[in-house]
Homo-oligomer: A and B are copies of this chain.
Amino acid sequence: MPPEYRIKFLPIDRTYPAGKGDNLLEVAMKAGVHINASCGGRGVCGKCRVRIAGGEVGSSPDHLLSGHDRDLGFRLACSSFVTEDAIVEIPLESQIDRSVLSRSAIMSDAASSALAEAVLCRYGTEALVARYYCELPRPDINDNIADAGRCARAILAKACSEDPVFAVGIVRGLSKTLRDADWNVTADVASDSSEVLRISPGNRENAHYAVAVDIGTTTVSAELIDCHARTAGPSAVASSTDYNAQISYGEDVISRIMYCRKRRGLTKLHNEVMSTINRLVSDIVTDAKIDIRDITHIVIAGNTTMMHLFYHVEPTYIMLAPYTPAATLFPPSGTGDLGFAPGLDARVYSIPGVSSYVGGDIVSGVALSGMTEEPGVSLFMDIGTNGEIVLGNDEWQLCASCSAGPAFEGGGIESGMRAAPGAIEKVHVNPVTLEPMILTVGRARPIGICGSGLIDLVADLFMAKTIDRNGKFSSEKGSARLRQGRSGMEYVLCFASETGIERDIVLTEIDLDNIMRTKAAVYAGCRVLLKNGGVEFTDLDSVIIAGGFGHSIDIEKAITIGLLPELPIERFRFMGNASLGGARMASVSRRFLGKTAEIARSMTNIELSESTQFMNEFMAAMFLPHTDDRAFPEVIQALEAHR
């Protein structure tokens, strides 16, 4: 639904579209309008007072405004929502920046469904496991072929594929099932191998589901896909996300692999992720009120380490040079020995990966993005603990993984955290006063700062000249928020009293150093791929940002710190959880799964870890935005303008 109302901010006279019910603080943040807010949008600090000068907004009741103020039109922006066109007067200093546009690059539902439509148009709709209702003729003396043969004949009549194959396990019990069901049965058939997976009594054609799962190092997401509904794209009838229960054994893949070297370590980690998956499946089955036996297949996408742990395969050599995984391609299997919950008897497919650090999650996203179908060159990025990047078009693809470090996931950052409730995910710093405006995940009391918040904060402090081009604090400007901490200078984003942790939330010099390394690694990785591909950033048709983290970053600010290349904003596309999206498409399109295998095979993996080219690029990128000013002309220009 397009935004239907217009909110005009005064005194800067900026009008921004908004939808009914949109939070006013968020609208202001999107519009690049600064409003002081230090409680993360919970309506408790009272700093985000605005005056409604025209129209009206809805407001939750609060005790921070007197009845008199209220009558004068004052509201707390964080507790107000759009109900109609309105004019909002901001009593505090404010300023305009380019981040206005960046949010439009986030993929809308409409764009996502267009992508799905394009994929199905190209690869066709054919669920990985097909379901056929067959009314078998009763055997008689003139037609007494084997029970399995009778089913096979009926399946062949429904679908012109190869001869259906009945494994011994299916043949056992088949005679009884057929007779108990009076010869009217539903057959589940793997569309790649023509293997018959199950014969169920009666007609279950209408109740046919798949589960798509993205196993992330941090979170696991699952969706229930209706394979029967013939809609433009696959329709997810339920979905659920949870932390990967492995997380208590280590935050990143390396610590998980280390844990596997302990006795029964692999089995423990395998069991943990299976418990998470089983819980998610149970959730979505309950939500959608379906019979778990109507799930015929599961498509898994995940990074290479996660796939090893899922399949209970030792991942040791992933982390030892020269970084060889045991496998990147796992053929379809049963749920049998994988530790799925009883009752779930489905065929398990997974999206193939390329190397130890470019896994099926990346291949899944690349395939979904369509970049391998276009002659124009695209850059695909998924930034997490590792920055995985893919460069290419319909003829070639290069990929690499750069150990970005966990800074953007909160690792190695004094007040860092993942994007969990209470994490500061958006920051705007007034360049004059250095006072921040913040928004937290879930609008909870702030307890830390996550990746997107860090990028915002560093970018704003850099533009405010409080961080210099070497990525060090500069004491040019005085502020109560800038102080000497235990390990050098630091910036206080929230004072203890405003937080949920009774400690200041700060950005330290050490944090800055870690962020510099991370952004430099990602950018350097991109540069190496581009050089290997013989293209320049300006040649790129599009830059595709995938992953949950990517979804929330402000492209403008990521460019400002030199994490992303400076390109016209419209060339950036957000894809959200592209890994899950690809798994979803594969569940309903056999040829799409085939395409992922083709991509995984054809992609050239470039190892950055021992590359001197990478080291040189990395050193060159340890500067804000970069040692090469020509690569960031607009950032440099804006910087000059602020001088």
A313: which B residues are within 8 A, CB to CB?
168, 171-172
Counting chain B CB atoms within 10 Å of each CB, which of A142, A166, A331, A609 scores highest?
Answer: A331
**Bound Cα distance A313, B170 (Å):** 10
**Do B329 and A149 touch (CB < 8 A)?**
yes
**Do A149 and B327 touch (CB < 8 A)?**
yes
**Do A168 and B329 touch (CB < 8 A)?**
no
Is A533's CB within 8 Å of the partner chain B?
A: no
Is A607's CB within 8 Å of the partner chain B?
A: yes
**Bound Cα distance A595, B57 (Å):** 80
Is A321's CB within 8 Å of the partner chain B?
A: yes
Contact mask for chain A residues 585-615; partner B; CB cutoff 8 A; 1 contact, 0 none: 0000000000000000000010101100000
A140: which B residues are within 8 A, CB to CB?
322
**Do B145 and A355 touch (CB < 8 A)?**
yes
What is the number of residues of chain A that contact chain B, defined by CB distance less than 8 Å? 48
A607: which B residues are within 8 A, CB to CB?
141-142, 144
**Do A171 and B355 touch (CB < 8 A)?**
no
Of B147, B195, B333, which contacts A325 at CB under 8 A? B147
Contact mask for chain A residues 166-185; partner B; CB cutoff 8 A; 1 contact, 0 none: 11100111111000000000
Min Cβ gap A614→B in Å is 12
**Bound Cα distance A139, B317 (Å):** 11
Q: Which residue of B lies closest to A317 (CB)?
A: B175
The answer to whether A174 and B327 touch (CB under 8 A), given A168-B313, A322-B139, A333-B167, is yes
Is A326's CB within 8 Å of the partner chain B?
A: yes
Is A396's CB within 8 Å of the partner chain B?
A: no
Is A495's CB within 8 Å of the partner chain B?
A: no
Of B147, B166, B312, B322, which contacts A172 at CB under 8 A? B312
**Do B356 and A148 touch (CB < 8 A)?**
no
Q: Which residue of B lies closest to A331 (CB)?
A: B165
Q: Which residue of B lies closest to A327 (CB)?
A: B148
Is A311's CB within 8 Å of the partner chain B?
A: yes
**Do B146 and A327 touch (CB < 8 A)?**
yes
Q: Which residue of B lies closest to A193 (CB)?
A: B193
Contact mask for chain A residues 327-363; partner B; CB cutoff 8 A; 1 contact, 0 none: 1111101000010000000000000000110000000
The answer to whether A330 and B144 touch (CB under 8 A), given A176-B314, A316-B175, is no
Q: Which residue of B lies closest to A147 (CB)?
A: B326
**Do A144 and B355 touch (CB < 8 A)?**
yes
**Do A331 and B149 touch (CB < 8 A)?**
no
Contact mask for chain A residues 302-327; partner B; CB cutoff 8 A; 1 contact, 0 none: 00000000011110110001111111
**Do A141 and B321 touch (CB < 8 A)?**
yes
**Bound Cα distance A144, B318 (Å):** 10
**Do B312 and A147 touch (CB < 8 A)?**
no
**Do A333 and B141 touch (CB < 8 A)?**
no
A316: which B residues are within 8 A, CB to CB?
175
Min Cβ gap A424→B in Å is 39
**Bound Cα distance A172, B355 (Å):** 17
The answer to whether A314 and B144 touch (CB under 8 A), given A166-B331, A167-B331, A333-B167, is no
**Do A144 and B324 touch (CB < 8 A)?**
yes
**Do B331 and A148 touch (CB < 8 A)?**
no
**Do A326 and B144 touch (CB < 8 A)?**
no
**Bound Cα distance A176, B168 (Å):** 32
The answer to whether A149 and B328 touch (CB under 8 A), given A139-B322, A316-B175, A322-B139, is yes
Task: Show 18 residue pairs from A and B whose CB-CB distance is below 8 angstroms, ordered by the A residue.
Answer: A141-B610, A144-B607, A145-B324, A147-B325, A147-B326, A148-B328, A149-B327, A150-B324, A166-B330, A167-B333, A168-B312, A168-B313, A171-B311, A171-B313, A172-B326, A173-B314, A175-B324, A176-B314
10 shortest interchain CB distances as A-B pairs: A148-B327, A144-B322, A141-B322, A171-B327, A146-B328, A146-B325, A175-B326, A139-B324, A165-B331, A168-B311
